[in-house]
Structure 1
């Protein structure tokens, strides 16, 4: 089992960039929500992107993400910058005590190209690029539909929109499709199958390896079973929040040929040592009954890392890389920080 060090993205902004952007956005006259940023703001984001890629390369991660520095509204970002989406009042996504804007879809979700443009810029600095996109079920869950008319049509439209965005991506090694809502607000009968079909629509838009990454708990058994019907290369599991139920799902229902293991806490400032990360991956491998074999394990944080102090964020990246360091099952070389 190859071990691939990576992250789900959503990185913290450096303090100096945060202050500069706050000042610039406070003085910008036109509507930032449209994604039409001034050259000064674009320049700051360009510098941050280059720095975030450099931090990952210096840490020697196997997959490098763009960093999502522009995603003020986290997973809702692709909608909050769309011309046919109105950003409503402040709401709280999930239960993390942070507040964002409510994207209200009032027109067709036409092609945007926003995500692809950021990835094109990041591709100038690395050949090991990994894309990060919100999952269609989670994006539909976080948004308000004022156009398509019912939940089924809205989910299908979100999936087609994301597929169009993914199809425009430059060459990437892998794509992480982030689906926390499958855990926190699980779909019911019928909707669980449609959620899987929506993820399949997004995954089919790229030839890269696709990981449907879930977190903040474990999937309900039926939701997990339907997710395995999607044509993804790996499913991601949050072993920080709930390792026992995630192992149960895998042992009872199986999973894909590869797996993503959320073994580093993306929201806790305690930095896991490389040895601890390695032990958690080894524990998982031992907990899954034989003769299950995996082609690869993406060793990653369970969630995005936005809420960490920058120094702790960088330490976690280095620990992830040191814990894998081109290791595969059966290799026993010493791992040091």
Structure 2
């Protein structure tokens, strides 16, 4: 029997009170939040943010709990932005939207340097109740390399390998977690070419090998190029994530039909960038629709997720969408599918 799991890609919007409180703190600037030198008031505010984001997921009935990444002002570039061997440069547009991050310029060796993400997840673990399962969220190696500027390694292949080893070190420092989502949207927005596809698969392997948890490689804002997908099938992950909101559904299904997929699947079915709130029934139907299009395979697990991070949304809408996911996985719709 297929296990349906309601979860998210993390990166939640800050509560309104937190935006006001953090912006009012003396000397506080958005660009300084993640450099490790926050004052006690800032740290205390983020502790309250973490508690609230976990409560939101608990109330929505999600099956996996993420930390929420309230401190990740640099979005998926965050793990590099706080590294000792990285200098943050100018403000850069985050993909094709109105969000921005500081350009992480790698100027020294990327050896693991203490695990900023691990500290966040340690704090999240302390807030979990019995039977709740932690989900870790990190950028995928290709995306993190794509978002960064290399001023040290001088070779694309060496740089990607160094990024992968850095992420593996971050993963090894994490507390116990049931799932690890690697968010790698650059795989579809700026697909690797030629031999780089094989290197990407090897880089994903490096990160995935650092945990005993189930690993989901999630891309979004499009569908994988055929060659990229074929090489990713060699990566030792437990599931691929597909964006069925903004992505080309036919392209997803072609890749899966032509090259197969893993024994689990993650499906982005809730729009993470649109304030229109889907009904639980609609999302449940979409889950069925996706699995029915792949009749040759019975999945052990189907992860139902938003198609992107949720920080684009107003707080009230983000909470509604969490609840939709929590309710949808409990439904077994018998109505005609309307994906």
Give the TM bin, normalised by the shorter chain.
over 0.9
Describe the SS at the equivalent of 2:38. coil
1:64 aligns with 2:65: yes
Kindly indicate whether the alpha-carbon contact (under 8 Å) linking 2:266 and 2:305 is maintained by their aligned counterparts in 1.
yes
Tell me what 1:176 maps to: 181
The aligned runs of 1:1-337 (5 Å cut-off) are 1-24=2-25, 26-27=27-28, 32=33, 34-111=35-112, 112-126=114-128, 127-242=132-247, 243-288=249-294, 290-325=295-330
Describe the SS at the equivalent of 2:187. helix
Return the TM-score normalized by structure 1: 0.94
CA distance in 2 between counterparts of 1:226 and 1:272 reads 34
Tell me the matched-pair count. Answer: 328
Describe the SS at the equivalent of 1:46. helix
Change (3 A) 1:43 1:256: same
Deviation at 1:291, TM superposition (A): 2.6
Deviation at 1:256, TM superposition (A): 0.4
Once the two structures are superposed, what CA deviation does each residue of 1:118-151 show, in whole Å capped at 9, x if it has no partner? Answer: 0000011223110000001000000000111111
CA distance in 2 between counterparts of 1:66 and 1:37 reads 19
Kindly indicate whether the alpha-carbon contact (under 8 Å) linking 1:33 and 1:87 is maintained by their aligned counterparts in 2.
no
Deviation at 1:34, TM superposition (A): 2.4
Kindly indicate whether the alpha-carbon contact (under 8 Å) linking 1:35 and 1:82 is maintained by their aligned counterparts in 2.
no
Describe the SS at the equivalent of 1:65. coil
Q: Which runs of 5+ in 2 are unaligned?
A: none
State the superposition RMSD in angstroms.
1.6
Change (3 A) 1:322 1:270: same
CA distance in 2 between counterparts of 1:137 and 1:324 reads 31
Kindly indicate whether the alpha-carbon contact (under 8 Å) linking 1:34 and 1:83 is maintained by their aligned counterparts in 2.
no
Change (3 A) 1:33 1:84: farther
CA distance in 2 between counterparts of 1:333 and 1:318 reads 21
Deviation at 1:2, TM superposition (A): 1.2
Describe the SS at the equivalent of 2:25. helix
Deviation at 1:99, TM superposition (A): 1.7
Return the TM-score normalized by structure 2: 0.94
Change (3 A) 1:154 1:61: same
Change (3 A) 1:210 1:27: closer
Deviation at 1:36, TM superposition (A): 2.1
Kindly indicate whether the alpha-carbon contact (under 8 Å) linking 2:33 and 2:71 is maintained by their aligned counterparts in 1.
no
Once the two structures are superposed, what CA deviation does each residue of 1:35-87 show, in whole Å capped at 9, x if it has no partner? Answer: 22111111100000011001101111000100000000100000111111111
CA distance in 2 between counterparts of 1:35 and 1:68 reads 15
Kindly indicate whether the alpha-carbon contact (under 8 Å) linking 2:33 and 2:73 is maintained by their aligned counterparts in 1.
no
Describe the SS at the equivalent of 2:138. strand
Once the two structures are superposed, what CA deviation does each residue of 1:166-192 show, in whole Å capped at 9, x if it has no partner? Answer: 011111110000000000000001101
CA distance in 2 between counterparts of 1:93 and 1:151 reads 21
Q: Which runs of 5+ in 1 are unaligned?
A: none
Kindly indicate whether the alpha-carbon contact (under 8 Å) linking 2:51 and 2:127 is maintained by their aligned counterparts in 1.
yes
